[in-house]
Amino acid sequence: MAYLNIEQIMQSISQRFPMLFVDRIIELEPGKQVTAIKNVTMNEQFFSGHFPDAPIMPGTLIVEAMAQVSTFLFYNPEDPHKKLDFFLGVIKDARFFRPVVPGDKIKIVAQSIRLAEDSAYVKASAVVEDAKVCEAELVFVRRKK
């Protein structure tokens, strides 16, 4: 079990503002499971257009947050500065259960279904205040150099 702060997260993944959707890794078992937090604030750029009178986080960005968290299944604590070069290839059976709004704190859990050298199958879920907001199976592929 380990945790990573935002600086350590940014050393590992390439996403940056406004597309970085992981604030803290709170549990980490590389290759098995990772749990993270995304704090949703009214300052998020997407709220200006989605929707001005009733802001909700787009479902695609919730899935993106789950994907970013999932890449930490490949994290190696012995080489913490190595970039995680896996990319989302497939989103399978995504389901959305309730809106995510400013002020919500999303807890994201990603569990490895099958991990290989160049791909991974992951089950991910997002929860706000003990209520599931999204779940999906995600498939990742390693970027070819």
- Cα–Cα distance measured from residue 74 to residue 59, given in angstroms and rounded to the nearest whole number: 24
Q: Which residue in 83, 71, 66 sits closest to 141, CA to CA?
A: 71
Q: How many CB atoms within 10 Å of residue 42?
A: 10
- Is residue 77 within 8 A of residue 143, CB to CB? The reply is no
- Cα–Cα distance measured from residue 94 to residue 124, given in angstroms and rounded to the nearest whole number: 9
Q: CB under 8 Å to 39, separation ≥6 — which residues?
A: 23, 105, 106
Q: Which residues are catalytic?
A: 50
Beta strand ranges found along 30-118 (DSSP E): 33-39, 86-96, 105-115
